[in-house]
Amino acid sequence: MWADANGQELANRFKDAPVKKKLTGIQGFDLITEGGLPLNRTTLVVGTAGSAKTVFAVQFLVSGIEQCDEPGVFVTFEERPADICTNFASLGWRIEDWVKEKKWAFVDASPAPEQMTVSGPFDFGGLMAQLERAIRKVGAKRVAIDSLGAAFAQYPQNAIVRHEIFRIANALRELGVTSVMTAERQEEYGEISRHGVEEFVADNVVILRNILEDEKRRRTVEALKFRGTSHHKGEYPFTVSAEEGIVVIPLSAIELKQKSTIIRRPSGNAELDKMCGGGIFRDSIILVTGATGCGKTLMTTEFISGGARAGERCLLLAFEESRDQLFRNASGWGVDFAQFERDGLLKVMCAYPESKGLEDHLIQIKKTIQEFKPERLAVDSLSALERVSTTKGYREFVVALTSFVKHLEVASLFTATTPTLVGGTSVTEAHISTITDSIILLRYVEMLGDMRRGIMVLKMRGSAHDKNIREFTIDGEGMHIGKSFTNITGILAGFPHTVPADEAARIERLFRNGQMDPAEM
Amino acid sequence: MIRKPPASGKRARRGVAPPETPKTPEAPRYLLRLYVAGLTAHSTMALANLKAVCESHLKGRYDLEVCDIYQQPELARREQVVAVPTLIRRLPPPVRRVIGDMSREDRVLIGLDILPEM
């Protein structure tokens, strides 16, 4: 479950709503729907081919059984029950066992093998009778019908099918079950469903999308309408993971209610601690940005070693370098990662950004955090993940990750690579600069034909900090922060140029005591 | 009369083969099962229509069972009866299915694969 909202908490939060809802148990979905699907109503779940409609329908019943001990009935117009059991066994869903335990019942309305002819008006009386019987047999509280499109394909008499589905939806309501019906649509953005199903079936519509954007697939879910009750608007990304099925990433549904602390921890560099006014806050998120090679991985290493030396459990997520490279780098700066690991204080997770989708990365990261329970997290680099997703998907990822670690009060350091060698900003900065508590800039400074490095604490929420741009050097013991650059200006803009000493003195005098000296003007 | 299929599975028979039938010696016997839902309009209609069709085209060479989906739900489940009325031609093979109230005689004949007499 999401750390910030377990089922009980959600149920309490929304218990006074006029239209009662049923928690689906689908991760994140209950948050964006503010408590699940409307109780004892039918919700239409629409999507194009391959948008995970069947997974949704099956998972709605699975989580009912696994999490709420509520049996369910699955009506299939498309796949045979045996195929459904087989297909979902890979997700660890023991449907066959549940059938035996009378927690799950199938109503098989898949096409019969023989040829069928229509000789006049008919109704779905057979289906109704089977459905009612199955509901009574297992004591079902949930029903899933998959899919209406297949029903229309089997029985070409659209008007009859439409009327019968309407009748089934009404009957389900009277039987006191909460149900989902899936239906096809042809385009991701267009009419809600084929056959205009939404007009006669449901007061509630959920849309699943599988969008191709910049050659990348992105799944989103949207609660389009819930009659008589509120829900979060807009699309939320989700993924279908091999272990848990659908996992929705709620983003803006996450509340900004993090606690705050004044406990400071060492950053790993004594001089940097001084610049930050005495160390970093225990629950703060630090963004370190800089051009390639200007010391971000070093900052990460120092951050980790500072934590481990203070006895904190540290998690390092590396998306640019392999484990061996990281360990070699660290030992080059006098830090022994292997020892930390043996002491159980460090866990290193390396992955190619391209190895999976961003949503799956997020789920993997969250899972690791929940298992390892680190007090400190470093991501090197966050911006490496930029290239595996769309800008929008990346932004959502960053927001979801930061809010998650914030909630768990894990001190975090993210690095971001700026695209230009001097000065400049990155997409990452734009996305998370407002969420982070501290921003540290690492910059190349060109001075009289030399390339030097500068460090600056741009922002430090809730604390005074050094406003100078300081020079730093790197050697076999790590990072050494020295004096501030004097007589030089334009470092942040990327056009450093020297200012004569007397001119600097004059400007200094100008602003002395925060007042201008009229004599100098 | 038309009878419900006994639990033993023995088939009910409609009529006794009169001496002048079958018309052709090879004409197959038809084994039909009609699923109805109680006494709804569609169900009674289908039964009446089907009897008329059978009497005029299959006289003396068909057996018709009538199953009520509420009386024999397990049978209906096994045969995937979704639409009502559903007629299943169990013999001769292959199995064929006709749904609806049997009001369209031409469709019933196509569904059962019976060539109307010229």
- Which residue would you say has higher pLDDT here, B9 or A355? A355
Question: How is residue A416 annotated by DSSP?
Answer: E
Nearest-angstrom CA–CA distance, A372 and A457: 30
Instruction: Say yes or no to pLDDT of A256 above 80.
Output: no
Where residue B86 falls among pLDDT bands split at 50, 70, 90? very high
Nearest-angstrom CA–CA distance, A304 and A501: 40
Where residue B52 falls among pLDDT bands split at 50, 70, 90? very high
Instruction: Say yes or no to pLDDT of B114 above 90.
Output: no
Please compute the mean of the pLDDT values over residues A387-415 and round it to a whole number: 84
The reply to whether ipTM tops 0.85 is no
3-state DSSP assignment of residue A444: strand
Determine contact: A159 vs chain B, CB below 8 A. no
CA distance A99 to chain B (A): 15
In the block, tokens 């007042």 appear at A515
pLDDT confidence of residue B6: 47
Instruction: Say yes or no to pLDDT of A251 above 60.
Output: yes
Nearest-angstrom CA–CA distance, A345 and A244: 29
pLDDT confidence of residue A4: 42
In the block, tokens 């930050």 appear at A276
All domains in chain B, ordered by first residue: 30-112 (3.40.30.10)
Instruction: Say yes or no to pLDDT of B103 above 60.
Output: yes
Where residue A418 falls among pLDDT bands split at 50, 70, 90? confident
Long-range contacts formed by A228-234: CB under 8 A, 24+ apart: A228/A18, A228/A19, A228/A38, A228/A203, A229/A17, A229/A18, A229/A19, A229/A21, A229/A34, A229/A38, A230/A17, A230/A34, A231/A32, A231/A33, A231/A34, A232/A31, A232/A32, A232/A33, A232/A34
Instruction: Give pTM, 2 decimals.
Output: 0.74
Of the spans A255-264, A352-361, A430-439, B85-94, which averages the highest pLDDT?
A: B85-94
Instruction: Say yes or no to pLDDT of A34 above 60.
Output: yes
Per-residue tokens: A345? 């204080």
Determine contact: B53 vs chain A, CB below 8 A. no
What are the C-alpha distances in Å from A161 to residues A166, A312, A329, A364? 9, 63, 67, 43
Instruction: Say yes or no to pLDDT of A491 above 80.
Output: no
A122 vs B contacts (CB less than 8 Å): 42, 83-86, 99-101
Lowest mean pLDDT among A61-70, A289-298, A445-454, B79-88: A445-454
B39 vs A contacts (CB less than 8 Å): none
Determine contact: A511 vs chain B, CB below 8 A. no
Cβ distance of A122 and B40 shorter than 8 Å = no
Q: CA dihedral in degrees (A379, A383, A388, A390; nearest 10)? A: 130
Where residue A390 falls among pLDDT bands split at 50, 70, 90? confident
The torsion angles phi and psi of B50, rounded to 5 degrees, stand at: -65, -40
Cβ distance of A127 and B42 shorter than 8 Å = no
Q: For chain A, what percent of residues have pLDDT higher than 70?
A: 89
CA distance B112 to chain A (A): 9
Where residue A379 falls among pLDDT bands split at 50, 70, 90? very high
Instruction: Say yes or no to pLDDT of B100 above 50.
Output: yes
pLDDT confidence of residue B1: 45
All domains in chain A, ordered by first residue: 38-205 (3.40.50.300), 264-485 (3.40.50.300), 487-521 (no CATH)
pLDDT confidence of residue A359: 84
Helical H runs in A422-493? Answer: 427-432
CA distance B20 to chain A (A): 30
Compute the mean pLDDT over every residue in chain A, rounded to the nearest whole number. Answer: 84
Instruction: Say yes or no to pLDDT of B117 above 70.
Output: no
Best CA proximity match to B11, nearest among B90, B99, B111, B92: B90
Compute the mean pLDDT over every residue in chain B, rounded to the nearest whole number. Answer: 81
- Cβ–Cβ under 8 Å, residues A34 and A233: no
Of the spans A46-55, A387-396, A434-443, which averages the highest pLDDT?
A: A46-55
| Residue A192 Rama label (left phi>0; alpha psi -120 to 50; beta) | alpha
Of the spans A160-174, A226-240, A496-510, B3-17, which averages the highest pLDDT?
A: A160-174
In the block, tokens 């469903």 appear at A193
Instruction: Say yes or no to pLDDT of B19 above 90.
Output: no
pLDDT confidence of residue A179: 93
Determine contact: B115 vs chain A, CB below 8 A. no
Of the spans A111-125, A196-210, A246-260, which averages the highest pLDDT?
A: A111-125
Cβ distance of B94 and A115 shorter than 8 Å = yes
Per-residue tokens: A499? 């200012």
Per-residue tokens: B12? 């009910």
Where residue A32 falls among pLDDT bands split at 50, 70, 90? confident
Per-residue tokens: A144? 């899933």
Determine contact: B34 vs chain A, CB below 8 A. no
Determine contact: B22 vs chain A, CB below 8 A. no
